[in-house]
Structure 1
Amino acid sequence: MHELQFGLTAPAQCSYLPEQQEQLVFLLPHQPLSAALYQQLMQLNFRRSGEQVYTPHCPSCKACHSVRLNYNEFVPSRSQKRILNKAQRHNWQHQLVKLTNTDYYPLFANYITHKHADGSMFPPTPEQLSSMLNCSWLNVRVLEQYYNQQLVSVTVVDETSDAYSAVYTFFAPEISAFSPGVLAVLYLLQYAKQNQKQWLYLGYQVDACQKMAYKAAFMPQQRFIQGQWHSFG
């Protein structure tokens, strides 16, 4: 990896743990980025937000652990198998596609309004979704899920030669009982196997944040802790 220049954000309230102060290390703009470089940075705990790449660098908290799964090692739990079987019984459909002209914003806005009205992304804006979907130096895919032939869930997925990275999932609140977020991970593992991607990155896990608890149920998994990947499960 060639020499890169990074910056550090000012302290701010953490969106996951409100009692903590958050700081981020980010790659300074106007440096050449590519999918290959991003793949190396993901291995060092970095994530993408829009065109920017960042990693937590908080002064008094180390709770954010990047999580990744290897499809060769992953074993679905009984609960996850039930979720897959339920979706199959109801003729649930899914596809991983390139970006098209499909307008995902109404689904996104409805999800944020009903599920995260107390969060930092409320009120939703088209620019929030656009920053996830558009990246000039990376292939961005979309996992679409359909129920009764209606689009009900979307997962934004970054692709590199060796990995998929789940950026964000949003869905119609009325189909929550089908666990579309869990289904998204399970389906992406299938696509990782099909397309020979060694890793599926799930973003950061914060054990004390209830909204992230579902990630801990995917085992075995690796977490990036204190500069190294550690295996769990």
Structure 2
Amino acid sequence: MHELRFGLTAPAPCSYLDAQQEQLVFLLPEQPVSAALYQQLLELNFRRSGEQVYTPHCPACRACESVRINPAAFNGSRSQRRLLNKAQRIGWQYKLSAGASTDYFPLFAAYISHKHADGSMYPPEQAQLDAMLSCSWLKVRYLEQYYQQQLVAVTIVDETTEAYSAVYTFFHPDVCALSPGILAILYLLQCARQDQKNWLYLGYQINACQKMAYKAAFLPQQRFIQGQWHSFG
């Protein structure tokens, strides 16, 4: 990895843990970035948001642990297999493509308004979604889920030669009970295995944050803790 220059954001209230302050280390703009470099940064606890690459560097907290799964080693729990079977029985469909097939904003807006009306992403804006949907130096794919011929969920997925990385999932409130976020991960693991990827990255796990608890159920997995990957399950 060539020499890189990073910046540090000012402290701000944490979006996930009350009474905590967050700071981010981010790759300074106007530096050459590529999918190969991003793969190296993924392995060091970094993530992408729009064109920016960042990692948490909070003054008094190390709760954010990047999660990755080896698709060849993953079998799925009994409940996960039941969910996949249920989705298949009711005609649930998936499509992983290299381009957005429709306007995702109405679905995105419905999701943010329902799930995150008390968060920093409310009210939803087209610019928020646009920043996640594309990246000039990276291949971005789109996992669409359909129920009764209607688009009900979208997962934005980064691709490198070695991995898929799930960036963000949003879905229609009417299908919450069918757990489209979990179905997205299960399907992406199948795709990653088929495409011979070494890892599927799920973003950060915070043990004290209930909204992220579902990630811990995908076993075996690795988490980046204090500068090293540790295996669980």
Shift of 1:18: 2.2
- Which residue identity does 2:145 align to in structure 1? Q
Which residue of structure 1 aligns with residue 222 of structure 2? 222
In 1, distance between residues paired with 2:190 and 2:13? 37
Shift of 1:74: 1.1
CA deviations on 1:29-72 (whole Å, 9 max, x unpaired) are 00000000000000000000000000000111000000000011
Shift of 1:120: 1.1
Instruction: Determine whether 1:65 maps to 2:65.
Output: yes
Instruction: Determine whether 1:52 maps to 2:58.
Output: no
Which residue of structure 1 aligns with residue 83 of structure 2? 83
Which residue of structure 1 aligns with residue 177 of structure 2? 177
| SS of residue matched to 2:108 | helix
The percentage of aligned residue pairs carrying the same residue is 75
In 2, distance between residues paired with 1:55 and 1:3? 17
In 1, distance between residues paired with 2:185 and 2:15? 23
Which residue of structure 2 aligns with residue 158 of structure 1? 158
Superposition misfits of 4+ residues, deviation over 2 angstroms:
none
Which residue of structure 2 aligns with residue 195 of structure 1? 195
Equivalent pair of 2:158/2:164 in contact (CA under 8 Å): yes
CA deviations on 1:141-174 (whole Å, 9 max, x unpaired) are 0000000111100000000000000000000110
- Which residue identity does 2:80 align to in structure 1? Q
In 1, distance between residues paired with 2:136 and 2:101? 17
In 2, distance between residues paired with 1:60 and 1:110? 35
In 2, distance between residues paired with 1:6 and 1:99? 31
Shift of 1:101: 5.0
In 1, distance between residues paired with 2:230 and 2:109? 36
Which residue of structure 2 aligns with residue 186 of structure 1? 186
| SS of residue matched to 1:124 | coil
In 1, distance between residues paired with 2:152 and 2:61? 36
Note the aligned Cα RMSD (angstroms). 0.7
TM-score (norm 1): 0.99
In 2, distance between residues paired with 1:124 and 1:105? 9
- Which residue identity does 2:223 align to in structure 1? R
In 2, distance between residues paired with 1:173 and 1:232? 32
Instruction: Determine whether 1:167 maps to 2:167.
Output: yes
In 2, distance between residues paired with 1:6 and 1:225? 21
CA deviations on 1:84-119 (whole Å, 9 max, x unpaired) are 011000011001101235100000000000111011
Equivalent pair of 2:192/2:198 in contact (CA under 8 Å): yes
Aligned residues: 233
Equivalent pair of 2:100/2:142 in contact (CA under 8 Å): no
Structure 1: runs of 5+ lacking an equivalent: none
TM-score (norm 2): 0.99
Which residue of structure 1 aligns with residue 92 of structure 2? 92
Which residue of structure 1 aligns with residue 18 of structure 2? 18
In 2, distance between residues paired with 1:35 and 1:86? 36
Which residue of structure 2 aligns with residue 106 of structure 1? 106
Equivalent pair of 2:44/2:227 in contact (CA under 8 Å): yes
Which residue of structure 1 aligns with residue 8 of structure 2? 8
Shift of 1:218: 0.3
